[in-house]
Amino acid sequence: MPTHHRRAFRHAVELTCAVVRERDFRLVARGCVDLSTEGMLVRADLPVLTGEPLLVSFLAPRSSRWIDAEAVVARVVHGRRPGDRGRRLGLAFQGLDREARHALFHALRALPPASARAASSRCHARRTDA
């Protein structure tokens, strides 16, 4: 019997963030365009490989709560297809603690959903941990 994973509901945002590559601590992204409790889509400033571990820091929307998380690159959008808006990285949070996830959930509730175009080029990873 197949296992089904629920994807987190994604929200359109424009956030400043700091996404740093773990291996050399280089800043690879500074802007988030959509966000969920499971991950985020960011505008990439440097090339990064799928599967690469990153450190992410951002202020939760409509909140004074900082979220610091480990993440992994789930998908790289190179920005070459019609409709792509430049190079993007789909990041999946790793080990985000329950309190931070709860705070993020409440901060996101009132925000609009991510666009249908973004949904068709889904960039967040499915959550596989329980």
Give residue 94's domain range. Answer: 11-115
Distances (CA, A) of 28 to 23, 76, 120, 130: 12, 12, 24, 29
Whether 38 maps to a domain, the answer reads yes
Place of tokens 């424009």: 14
pLDDT in tens, the chain (130 residues): 445 454 666 766 788 999 999 999 999 999 998 998 899 999 999 999 999 999 999 998 888 889 999 999 999 987 666 666 678 999 999 989 999 998 888 888 877 677 644 443 444 433 333 3
Whether 55 maps to a domain, the answer reads yes
Whether 124 maps to a domain, the answer reads no
Whether 125 maps to a domain, the answer reads no
Kindly report the CATH number assigned to the domain that includes residue 87: 2.40.10.220
With 0.85 as the threshold, say if the pTM is over it: no
Whether 3 maps to a domain, the answer reads no
Whether 129 maps to a domain, the answer reads no
Whether 109 maps to a domain, the answer reads yes
Please give the tally of structural domains in the chain.
1
